[in-house]
Structure 1
Amino acid sequence: MKILILGAGAIGGYFGARLQQAGADVTFLVRSRRAAQLAEHGLAVRSPFGDFDVQPRWVEATAVREPYDLVLLTCKAYDLDGALEAIAPAMGPSTHVLPLLNGLSHLDRLAQVFGAERVVGGCCSIPVTLGPKGEVLHLAKMHRIAFGPLPGTSPDARAKLEQLHGFLSKTPVDSVLVDDMRQEMWEKFVGLCTLAAMTCLMRAAVGDIVSSEEGTALMTEALDACAGTATANGHPPREAAMGGFRRMLFDPASAGMASMLRDLEGGHRTEGRHVVADMLHRARAAGVDPGPLRAAWCHLESHELRARREARSTE
């Protein structure tokens, strides 16, 4: 099975390197700057599970000439349109695409462009970033990836996903082949949106928020809004997932925060529109009280609008 991974950044680089470590046929689709880094340094992974290096095979967008069996999308949600254009030459009549993007809205766009039968579901949870030389820095022991067919996915995807799972099973990665992938994605959406909405709105870590006078009540309202929206859409979070969210979101000693907050405070683009705003709109459509999601999206969108205005004023 030939696998193409869009990007060799933190997430694509980590899971792609693990797949290559297990013997999979992996090619990275990268921009010229990343290609130069890979040529000079290779692909290095620094992980609590052991450091390792691989010599990756890569291709730039203009050089993609043939279809692959499976394409992994690991871009930010706001880069989706550019990513679709980049992988189009790799999408043959039997190619499947596995996105590891946050949220749910990308699934409709992928189905629109490539057909629902070519789209499988995926999500991951991993604290990872890139170092100064492009090395992948795995920051903690969490590295879970889940994938599986969606209701419209063609049956021939199953064999590819089983092969993918087989490769990852040879590595330390917590890999799960899921039968009900939409349930899995909704559960991640609930936890991620609550964390992102509240830490961005308050500009604080989880422990700081729930230690404040109104923090626990507001965190509860946000979680209830997200879980209620999932339930109204036919995917009530299972108790195991809700228990994990409560441990993550109500720990007064936690310094945890969403990567979206780091992007916000760093002056970078955020996925607020694709996570917080999308959940807010789905809550309203389902008649669910969105609670603090309204203020969180107002905060994020106002930041976006101010950044655009100030950028125009300097032109």
Structure 2
Amino acid sequence: MKILIVGAGAIGGYFGGRLLEKGEDVTFLVREKRREKLEQTGLNISSKNGDLQLTPKLITKEDPNQVFDVVLISTKSYQLEHAIKDVEPFVGPETMVLPLLNGIAHMQTLIEAFGEERVIGGLCFIETTLGEDGTIVQTSPVNQLIYGERTGEQTERIQKLEKSFTGTKADFVKSDNINQEMWHKYLFITTMSGITSMMEMPIGPIKELESGQQTIKTFLVELVAIMEKIDAPIQKGIAEVQLKRINSMSAEMKSSMQRDIEKFQPTEFEHLQGYLLLRAKEKAVQTPILELIYTKLKLYEQNLYADK
């Protein structure tokens, strides 16, 4: 299959690099400056699962149109609008659009842009960042990408995609219930990013405190209450499952949102916390912790742009 990776950043660059390592037909859609850099240095990955030095195929949005079988999008939510415009010329009638964004609100945006049939479900679990020299640095061994038809069907195209992904030195998992998987990830990342960003600490010191434990638990219960009110496809007891997961994380673990704040970069707070707060207001669900976290993140964002 012809696979297009939108961007060659920390997530797309990593999973695209692993597919390229296997021998799949992978192309990266990048900005001109990133292409110039990659043409000089190659695509370099420093990983717990093995380092890579690759020479990738690169295109920009100005290059002649060609149609791909799969388009993998892993941008930040605030970059999605531009990514859609950039990728439109490379999407054909049979193209699968596979998003790896955090949250859930982007799904409707992609469906409106590309159509109900083209968009499949996806998410990933990976701790990775882009170094100052452009190297993709994976800092923990977890490198899981989960994908599947949103209908749960075993279509011919999803089986072809599974064949392309199988044998890669990363954990590609086909799910028969990808909608639930995405909502469960949404619950986890909204909790983790909100708590660590609010407290300005990695998860360890927070979860060691009795008050920290109670805050995490109460926040999870708040978010689950919203999701239940809007009939999200979550399983019973998911708050307890995610609490155990958070408590099993290494003490030094930070959320990507927290790292973005530390670098004085924009965050995805509107896409994550903001979307659920909006839905809570629609359903008259009381969410004091969510409102507090949202307010802190909103003020951070206002100050960030006030300085520019």
The residue correspondences of 1:60-209 to structure 2 (distance < 5 A) are 60-151=60-151, 158-209=155-206
SS in 1 for 2:141: coil
**Unpaired segments ≥5 residues, structure 1:** none
Which AA in structure 2 matches 1:143? N
Count residues in correspondence. 307
Q: Pick from 276, 290, 298: which aligns with 1:279?
A: 276
SS at match of 1:196: helix
Q: Are the structure 2 counterparts of residues 70 and 259 from structure 1 closer, same or farther at C-alpha, using a change threshold of 3 Å? A: same
Residue 244 of structure 1: how far off its partner (Å): 5.1
Q: Which moved more, 1:222-231 or 1:241-250?
A: 241-250
Deviation of 1:252 after TM superposition, in Å, equals 9.2
1:255 pairs, out of 252, 257, 261, with: 252
- Residue 12 of structure 1 aligns with which residue? 12
- Provide the C-alpha distance between the structure 2 equivalents of 1:170 and 1:40, rounded to a whole number of angstroms: 29
Q: Partner of 1:236 in structure 2?
A: 234
Answering whether residue 20 of structure 2 is matched by residue 23 of structure 1, we say: no
- Residues 220, 239 of structure 2: 8 Å contact kept: no
Q: Distance in 2 between matches of 1:7 and 1:23?
A: 19
Aligned residue number for residue 264 of structure 1: 261
Provide Cα deviations, 1:253-276, integer angstroms capped at 9, x if missing partner.
Answer: 722221101111221000011011
**Deviations 1:268-306 (Å, cap 9, x if unpaired)?**
000011011112222333443324111000000111112
Alignment gaps of 5+ in structure 2? none
- Kindly tell me: are residues 78 and 118 of structure 1, through their superposed partners in 2, closer, same or farther at Cα, counting changes over 3 Å? same
Cα distance 1:48–1:238, how it changes in 2: closer, same or farther (>3 A)? Answer: farther
Post-superposition Cα deviations, 1:165-212, rounded to whole Å, max 9, x if no partner, equal 223321231111112211010000000000011111111121222333
Q: In structure 2, the residue corresponding to 1:62 is in which secondary structure? A: coil
Alignment partner, residue 221 of structure 1: 218
Change (3 A) 1:253 1:116: closer
Aligned amino acid, residue 289 of structure 2: P
Kept in 1: contact 2:217–2:243 (CA 8 A): no
Change (3 A) 1:306 1:32: same
Task: Give 1:67 shift.
Answer: 1.5
Is this contact kept in 2: 1:199–1:206, CA < 8 A?
Answer: yes
Contact preservation (8 Å) 2:221, 2:239: no
Please state how far the C-alpha of 1:229 moved relative to its aligned partner: 2.6
Report deviation, 1:225: 1.5
With the length of structure 2 as denominator, give the TM-score of the two structures: 0.93
User: What SS class does the counterpart of residue 148 from structure 2 fall into?
Assistant: strand
Work out whether residues 147 and 176 of structure 1, in 8 Å CA contact, stay in contact via their aligned partners in 2. yes
Q: Secondary structure at the match of 1:127?
A: strand
- Percent identity at matched positions? 33
How far apart, CA to CA, are the structure 1 residues paired with 2:236 and 2:268? 25
CA distance in 2: counterparts of 1:113 and 1:222, whole angstroms: 33
Q: Normalised by the size of structure 1, how large is the TM-score?
A: 0.91
